[in-house]
């Protein structure tokens, strides 16, 4: 996003440096950002040089020079290793897709890159970490089955569970509840660092007017937050048309035309608070979002699932054996 990059360049997030690599003729052939994060250092147990927003032409000399410069910056700063590409952290967005190059990326945390990127990283010594997948639940309107047929559950489904919907008007009040569940449910993952209230506010800035209130759901169990699921309309096409420039004018255009982007949704994130896992929670939360997706006449719901050797926070959407449409990893 234009605004995000300008914010980094202007010092909105301290310590983020933007770099360009030019050839002998002065043409830009690569770009990257360099930054560090003490919370991520503590998570991995060593000082790490982070890099992100990385693009480069298909040229061995260019990639060798680019990655040597990134590694040299890390060495000079006393970093033990380099890690990326992330913008700015793995729990925000980043990674390199290793399959699905004929598929488009999705706004939020599932990007796209040319097919030569994985080999370029591998040939320069990078190893894959935290592999992940993007799944799509398509043709929702063509499936005559009810939600209960797709997600069968015997017995009392809700009991002491209470289902809550999101609210544009009260989003600011609901964010602390969601942040608590988010941090608790993802803390077990090897790449995740706790999101502060400030970070979450920055990441969700401008989100309120995009939210379909029926697709932000959370559960409380005996009054305590227990699980949540957040889907948003897929505005990827609009972002591409505006080259990622969501200035005030384009935000107004999106607000006026948002009904055009109600046919597809992105499952941004879902999670369950540790100690509250179980089939009843899963059966109560995600199926309701799927049901609302169908009732809103959504055609597709896409979900990005980051897999690790840590305990899983939630399974992929697809229940019918279809493969992921794209795979991604950090390096």
Please report the pLDDT score of residue 195 as a whole number: 83
Domains contained in the chain, CATH given: 2-133 (3.40.630.30), 137-317 (3.40.630.30)
96-141 pLDDT per residue, tens: 888 888 876 666 556 788 999 999 999 999 998 888 777 776 666 6
Q: 288 is written with which tokens? A: 């309701």
Peptide bond into 85 cis (omega under 30): yes
Please report the pLDDT score of residue 325 as a whole number: 67
Please report the pLDDT score of residue 260 as a whole number: 73
Mean pLDDT rounded to a whole number for the chain? 75
Q: Which of 35, 32, 69 is nearest to 50 (CA)?
A: 35
Q: Are strands 300-306 and 129-138 parallel, antiparallel or unpaired?
A: antiparallel
The DSSP annotation for 68-137 comes to HHHHHHHHHTT-SEEE--BSS-TTTSB-EE-S-TTSPPBTTTB----TTHHHHHHHTT---EEEEEEEEE
260-288 pLDDT per residue, tens: 766 777 777 778 888 766 655 655 555 55
* Radius of gyration, CA atoms only, the chain: 21
- Residue 69 pLDDT exceeds 80: yes
What 8-state DSSP symbol labels residue 191?
Answer: T
pLDDT category of residue 313 using cuts at 50, 70 and 90: very low
- Residue 30 pLDDT exceeds 90: yes
Please report the pLDDT score of residue 296 as a whole number: 47
Strands ordered across the beta sheet of 161-165: 96-97, 326-330, 129-138, 300-306, 264-272, 224-233, 216-221, 161-165
Q: Which of 274, 283, 313, 271 is nearest to 158 (CA)?
A: 283
pTM, two decimal places: 0.78
170-222 pLDDT per residue, tens: 777 888 888 888 888 888 888 888 888 877 776 666 566 666 666 778 888 88
The DSSP annotation for 230-242 comes to EEEE--HHHHHHT
Please report the pLDDT score of residue 306 as a whole number: 47
What does the alpha-carbon distance between residue 187 and residue 141 come to, in Å, rounded to a whole number? 36
Cα 28–chain centre separation: 28
| Max CA pair span of the chain | 71
Q: Which of 168, 289, 163 is nearest to 218 (CA)?
A: 163
């Amino acid at each position: 996003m234009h605004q995000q990059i300008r914010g980094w360049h202007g010092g909105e997030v301290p310590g983020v440096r933007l770099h360009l690599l030019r050839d002998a003729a002065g043409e830009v052939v690569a770009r990257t950002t360099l930054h560090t994060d003490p919370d991520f250092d503590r998570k991995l147990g060593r000082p790490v040089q982070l890099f992100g927003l990385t693009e480069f032409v298909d040229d061995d000399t260019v990639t060798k020079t680019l990655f040597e410069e990134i590694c040299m910056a890390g060495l000079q700063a006393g970093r033990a290793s380099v890690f990326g590409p992330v913008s700015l952290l793995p729990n925000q967005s980043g990674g390199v897709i290793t399959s699905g190059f004929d598929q488009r990326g999705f706004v939020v945390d599932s990007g796209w890159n040319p097919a030569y990127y994985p080999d370029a990283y591998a040939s320069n010594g990078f190893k894959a970490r935290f592999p992940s997948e993007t799944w799509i639940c398509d043709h929702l309107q063509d499936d005559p089955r009810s939600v209960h047929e797709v997600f069968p559950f015997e017995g009392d489904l809700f009991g002491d569970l209470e289902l809550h919907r999101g609210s544009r008007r009260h989003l600011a009040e609901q964010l602390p509840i969601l942040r608590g569940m988010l941090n608790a449910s993802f803390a077990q993952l090897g790449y995740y660092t706790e999101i502060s209230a400030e970070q979450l506010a920055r990441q969700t800035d401008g989100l309120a007017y995009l939210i379909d209130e029926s697709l932000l759901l959370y559960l409380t169990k005996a009054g305590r937050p227990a699980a949540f699921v957040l889907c948003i309309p897929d505005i990827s096409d609009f972002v591409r048309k505006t080259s990622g420039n969501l200035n005030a004018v384009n935000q107004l255009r999106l607000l006026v035309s948002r009904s055009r982007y109600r046919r597809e949704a992105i499952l941004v994130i879902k999670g369950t608070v540790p100690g509250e896992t179980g089939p009843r929670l899963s059966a109560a939360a995600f199926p309701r979002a799927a049901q609302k997706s169908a009732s809103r006449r959504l055609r597709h719901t896409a979900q990005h699932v980051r897999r690790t050797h840590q305990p899983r926070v939630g399974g992929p959407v697809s229940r019918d054996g279809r493969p992921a449409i794209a795979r991604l990893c950090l390096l």
